[in-house]
Structure 1
Amino acid sequence: MPENCSPLNAQLCAAPTTTPPDPTAPAPPVVVTLRDIASFVPAKPGNEMEPGGWAVEDLPANFVAAASVQVVSGTLLGQPADVRFTPVGYRWRHSDGGVLESGAPGATWAMLGQREFTTTGTSHVYADSGEYTVALEVVLRAEYRFAGSGWRAIAGTLAVAGDPQRVLVGDFDTVLTDGDCNANPSGPGC
């Protein structure tokens, strides 16, 4: 009996009513968050460009991300588990202020069947000569599984940064020559 039990405090005298747990009831679902998978680290994405490391003022430079589906194994909630990271978005931040977001990683001009310096879905044009940097972030969706079970989604996305890339931009002029300037350095236009 509770110590303050008296006829004036009848509710204190009543024994608490408890219902025994139903052994057939399903266990509450496990909720895994991005914080729970912090120890599962995906690889940094690659950040490539065409032409390699340089660009021509007022002409498109083409950027291509190298990121693919990855499975990282480890321990989650005290159990062996796998976490699968799937790229779902790409963001290039250019130091001239340009930002490009895409649902695709981009492709080389050759893969697209395009000539060099043509616009692509992931290209960027620098208006002025100088040295710039471009930083790539890949947005990943995460899923987990225990002991080979089916994949379960984790709410939210995770952004993983690649190494910044240096881009040297110059203004180039074309010059018409009569022949090979290496063979005839004093020829017209050489």
Structure 2
Amino acid sequence: MTQRGTRINTETGEKTDLGIRCAMPGTPEYEEAPPVVIVVTQEDFARLPVKPLEPHAGPAEGWLPVNMVNVLYTEPDTQLLTTELLGTPVAIRATPVSYHWDLGDGNTITTTTPGKPYPSEEVSATYTQEGWYDITLTTTFSGQFSVDGGEWQDIDGTIEVTSDPVPIYSKSLESRLVDGDVPVDEDEDPWIPERNPETEGPQDPNARHREI
């Protein structure tokens, strides 16, 4: 049996390599050899393919009126992953514990609740100006690991996983006189304009961070 030893300072995290020693089965060295302890670190956790959660924001059409409530939510599923350390199977459990929403206009929300679909407004925001915005969700996951089917143990530290942004257009609805006999020319006046530098939404001068 070959063993490699590592001493870890639990206060500083400093690791010291104690080298490798060999022990043949049936020898006193083999019987006296300490058991190999497998620990999953935050670095190990961060290297695993934890999937980002799917963010839901705004109506399905991809736009909402200025100052209309924008409902934000996600489904916080726990993920189970498997890996192998020192030839031993290890299961990893990644659990969402907090959610950070970046609304793209300077406003942000950090919450421990995943939110709920409309008509709930548990996690929500509004845009005060017209334009395109990207809504980005960053989820913080805590982790646990189980070695070869053993009891679950906590992983020290957490990881953050960012989802792909959700584009949404904040539309300013203004009344105007139109000729009811003339059909709307969607090519001339599209309801949702093409995204370009001129249609990007401006930053909110009163942007703030909220915790829910």
TM-score, structure 1 normalization? 0.69
Q: What is the rounded CA distance, in whole Å, between the counterparts of 2:66 and 2:73 in structure 1?
A: 19
Partner of residue 105 from structure 1, selected from 114, 127, 139: 114
1:9-158 to 2 correspondences below 5 Å: 30-52=38-60, 53-110=62-119, 112=120, 120-158=121-159
Cα 1:174–1:102 shift into 2, 3 Å: farther
- Which ranges of 4 or more aligned residues in structure 1 deviate by more than 3 Å? 23-31
- CA shift, 1:126, in A, is 0.6
Structure showing greater Rg: 1
Give the equivalent residue in structure 1 for 2:194: none
Q: Which runs of 5+ in 1 are unaligned?
A: 1-20, 113-119, 176-184
TM-score, structure 2 normalization? 0.63
Cα 1:98–1:146 shift into 2, 3 Å: same
Give the equivalent residue in structure 2 for 1:164: 165
Q: Which runs of 5+ in 2 are unaligned?
A: 1-28, 182-212
Q: What is the rounded CA distance, in whole Å, between the counterparts of 1:64 and 1:84 in structure 2?
A: 22
Deviation by residue 1:76-129 (Cα, 9 ceiling, x = unmatched): 34321110000100011121001111101110124x4xxxxxxx2311111100
Query: CA-atom RMSD, angstroms?
Result: 2.6
How many residues were matched structurally? 150
Q: 2:57 touches 2:135 (CA, 8 Å); kept in 1?
A: no
- Which piece of structure 1 moves more, 36-45 or 131-140? 36-45
User: Secondary structure, in 3 states, of the residue corresponding to 1:35?
Assistant: helix
User: Secondary structure, in 3 states, of the residue corresponding to 1:71?
Assistant: strand
Q: What is the rounded CA distance, in whole Å, between the counterparts of 1:174 and 1:89 in structure 2?
A: 41
Q: Percent identity among equivalent residues?
A: 26
Q: What is the rounded CA distance, in whole Å, between the counterparts of 1:32 and 1:137 in structure 2?
A: 23
Q: 2:136 touches 2:163 (CA, 8 Å); kept in 1?
A: yes
